[in-house]
C-alpha cells in the first residue's frame, strides 16, 4: 500500500506538495489493474486542500452482449483535509496519512457507469437465439 504522509506537511503553512503515483489495484479487485493518481496538496493558513486526478481501466462485461469491455475511467477529487479525515468520503485519511490505494480504488468504483457497454452502439444479443448481433447478419428466422 502507498501512503501520502501529511503529518509534517500540516505544520508547513504556505507549502504545497505535488504527487504522481502509479498503483497496482489488482490485489484489491481483479477488475482494476494499474491506476494513477496525480495532484497537489496545499497548506494555506493551516487549511490543507487536496486536488487530484485519478485514472484507471476497468475490465468488465458488456451489459448488452456479454463480451469483455475495457472502460477508461477518470475522476477529479477536490477536498479539504484534516489529519484524521476529509470532506470527501472517497479520500481516506488514516492517522495523518492519505491511503492512496483505498482513495484511488474508491474513486474508480464511484466512477463506474450504471450500464457498462463494450461500445456505444452495441446491438446486444438476439432475443430469440442469443447470438451476438454485433457479429453481423446471421440469418435468425425469429
Q: Express each pLDDT in 26-77 by its tens digit.
A: 887 889 888 999 999 999 887 889 999 999 999 999 999 999 999 999 999 9
Does 87 fall in a domain? yes
Q: Exposed (0-12), middle (13-18) or buried (19+): which is 98, by Cβ within 10 Å?
A: buried
Copy the grid coordinates of residue 101. Answer: 490505494
- Helix or strand or coil: residue 62? coil
Domains held by the chain: number: 1
CB neighbours (10 Å) of residue 114?
5
- The residue range of the domain holding 102 is 3-135
Query: pTM value?
Result: 0.84
Does 82 fall in a domain? yes
Does 129 fall in a domain? yes
Return the DSSP state at 84: S
Does 75 fall in a domain? yes
Does 71 fall in a domain? yes
CB 95 within 8 A of CB 79: no
Element (H, E) at 59: strand 47-61
| Cα 46 to chain centroid, rounded | 29
Does 140 fall in a domain? no
Q: Give me the phi and psi of 135, to 5 degrees please.
A: -80, 0
Does 68 fall in a domain? yes
Does 29 fall in a domain? yes
d(CA 36, CA 56): 6
pLDDT in tens, 94-132: 888 899 999 999 999 999 999 999 999 999 998 888 899
Amino acid at each position: 500500500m502507498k501512503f501520502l504522509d501529511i503529518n509534517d506537511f500540516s505544520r508547513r503553512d504556505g507549502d504545497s506538495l505535488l504527487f504522481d503515483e502509479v498503483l497496482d489495484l489488482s490485489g484489491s479487485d481483479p477488475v482494476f489493474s494499474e491506476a494513477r493518481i496525480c495532484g497537489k496538496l496545499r497548506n494555506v493558513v493551516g487549511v490543507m486542500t487536496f486536488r487530484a486526478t485519478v485514472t484507471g481501466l476497468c475490465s468488465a462485461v458488456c451489459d448488452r452482449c456479454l463480451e469483455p469491455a475495457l472502460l477508461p475511467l477518470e475522476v477529479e477529487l477536490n477536498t479539504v483535509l484534516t489529519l484524521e479525515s476529509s470532506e470527501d468520503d472517497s479520500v481516506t485519511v488514516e492517522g495523518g496519512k492519505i491511503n492512496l490505494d483505498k482513495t484511488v480504488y474508491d474513486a474508480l468504483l464511484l466512477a463506474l457507469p450504471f450500464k457498462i457497454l463494450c461500445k456505444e452502439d452495441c446491438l446486444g444479443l438476439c432475443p430469440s437465439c442469443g447470438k451476438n448481433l454485433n457479429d453481423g447478419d446471421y440469418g435468425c428466422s425469429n
